[in-house]
Amino acid sequence: MVRASSVEIRKVNKFYGPFHALKDIDMSIEPGKVTCLIGPSGSGKSTLLRCVNFLEEYNSGEILIDGELIGYETAGGKKMSSRRLREMRRTIGMVFQQFNLWPHMTALQNVAEGLIRVRGMARAEAETRAADALEKVGLGDRMGNHPSRLSGGQQQRVAIARAIAMEPRLMLFDEPTSALDPELVGEVLTVMKALAAEGMTMVVVTHEMGFAAHVADQVAFMEQGELVAVDAPANILHHPEDPRIQSFLRTYHERNSF
Amino acid sequence: MNDFLAHYGPFLLSGFGMTVLCWLLGTIGGMALGLAIALIQRHSIAPVRWVLRAYIEAIRGTPFLAQLFLLYYGGPMFGLRLDPVPAGLLGLSVYSSPYFAEIFRSAFGSVPVGQIEAARAIGMSEFSIVRRILLPLGLVSALPAMVNFSIVLTKETVILSIVTVPELMYQVQRMSAETFRYVEANLALALFFWGLVELISRLGRRFETRITKHLIERT
């Protein structure tokens, strides 16, 4: 079992100029639980996710990781030092829609880089660990390949290995399968399921309703910057009460039936 | 004709050597200065950026000839007394720096934000991000423009002759004045430059192919 973080989101607001992107978001995520964020595009799911590791700055409210405020010294106060922020980010892994591997490094180097620069490990030790992480996502035989020689699914698995090699206590996934060809989605979801089974706290922005239904402990539905509902997967996906969720799911089902 | 070559050949060759030396050192100086400007612009507060912007506009907006005159003949008024060659090198570095700064600025801008964010997300410091991600990727995408502008600079070195740097143009002018063989002298100048430019562009292309090999998506 891994050591897992809790996340507490309280009254979080975010503005882009006059645009109100996140409206008084409240959400609790218990250690070791998987939360899926769903909703139409532009609803603020990714923005909320990016606020959790402060890649995106929220304007008011609090986000606490294991009870510790991220981004600001005190709620509504001045920003925390970049050194402190870096320390907090070490324990938060993130996986992006576009993989964002570094193209000038091999798979192994991509995974080892953080261990060397951030954890201060010697190269040999870092590479041993990186190799283990790649093994774990099923890419033990592709370690010497540059990203340009890997399929999208393989690239995303390297990106997951890069995050888990840092031994995070919380993993953030920003539409991890949305840029993949349909036949490559499965291999990435399999790796994510295995992580969830290990007891990692995970927050996943996704359009994979099957994953949300089978793996998530709770599903949050967002629309127009509002958190419409957070509940058990079945209550959101199978018996939604809110008309906005019903209409979203109707569209989803129509698009996926033929 | 043979006497002519025997007499002036060594001067032309030494002039060419000086041209290559000035070009090489001036270009390296300009690249270093330009890189520093681009990095500082990226990581500093607004007033510093404004000053650098003004520097870029001022240097880009004025002829190299005027800059070199001001540096060499005007410098002593401010206590900056330089010999011709150092003045030429400094002049060439300063003159080329804003162009290189702009090349680097746009190259850094072409590094996908996501790759920088990925580094931030695992807790890398800004310094590590610049050194490990931004510079290697930025320099690769800057390479074609860097080679191109370096080629432009080879020909700017002829201006150093006005402050008596004994480079190729200086020797060609001396030869022309002494023999009135303007055509031959300038033909020699043209051939020397063409050869140099051809060499630089070939080396540049070969280098580019080598360092971008693994970046190209195999389809």
Model confidence over A16-30: pLDDT tens digits? 999 999 999 999 999
Contact B121 A162 (CB under 8 A): no
Between strands A218-223 and A34-38, the pairing is: parallel
> Would you give the DSSP letter of residue A80?
P
Beta bridge partners of A64: A8, A69
Nearest CA in chain A to B124: A118
Encode pLDDT of A117-176 as tens digits. Answer: 999 999 999 999 999 999 999 999 999 999 999 999 999 999 999 999 999 999 999 999
Beta carbon pairs, A and B, within 8 Å:
77
Is pLDDT above 90 for A51? yes
Chain A contact for B117 (CB, 8 A cutoff): yes
Q: Name the packing angle between helices B84-109 and B135-156 (round to 10°).
A: 140
Q: Report the SS3 class of residue A63.
A: strand
Q: Distance (Å) from the C-alpha of residue A174 to the closest C-alpha of chain B? A: 12
Q: A76: closest CA among A88, A63, A59?
A: A59
For the stretch B14-29, pLDDT in tens is 999 999 999 999 999 9
> Is A117 within 8 Å of B132 when comparing Cβ atoms?
yes
Bridge-based pairing of strands A218-223 and A201-205 is unpaired
Element (H, E) at A37: strand A34-38
Tell me the average pLDDT across B56-77: 92
Dihedral of CA atoms B163, B165, B167, B172 in degrees, nearest 10, equals 50
ipTM summary value: 0.92
Nearest neighbour of A96 by CB, restricted to B118, B126, B214: B118
- pLDDT tens-digit profile of B108-157? 999 999 999 999 999 999 999 999 999 999 999 999 999 999 999 999 99
Q: Mean pLDDT, to the nearest integer, of A90-110? A: 95
Contacts of B53 (CB under 8 A, 6+ apart): B41
Residue of B43, B122, B217 for testing the chain A interface, max A β-carbons within 10 Å? B122
The nearest CA of chain A is from the CA of B217 a distance in Å of 5
Residue B55 tokens, joined:
């520097």
Residue in A closest to B123 by C-alpha: A86
Mean pLDDT on A57-69: 94
Average pLDDT value for residue range B66-80: 90
Instruction: Give CA–CA dist A64/A70, Å, rounded.
Output: 6
Give the chain A residue whose CA is nearest to the CA of B117.
A55
Contact B216 A103 (CB under 8 A): no
Of A185, A189, A124, A137, which Cα lies nearest the Cα of A165?
A: A137
Tokens of A51: 């606020």
Output the pTM of the full model. Answer: 0.87
pLDDT tens-digit profile of B81-110? 889 999 999 999 999 999 999 999 999 999
Structure tokens at A203: 């927050």
Rounded distance between C-alpha atoms, residue B218 and residue A11, angstroms: 47
pLDDT score of A66 more than 60: yes
| Separation CA B201–CA B209 (nearest Å) | 12
Q: How many of the other CB atoms lie within 10 Å of CB of A20?
A: 16
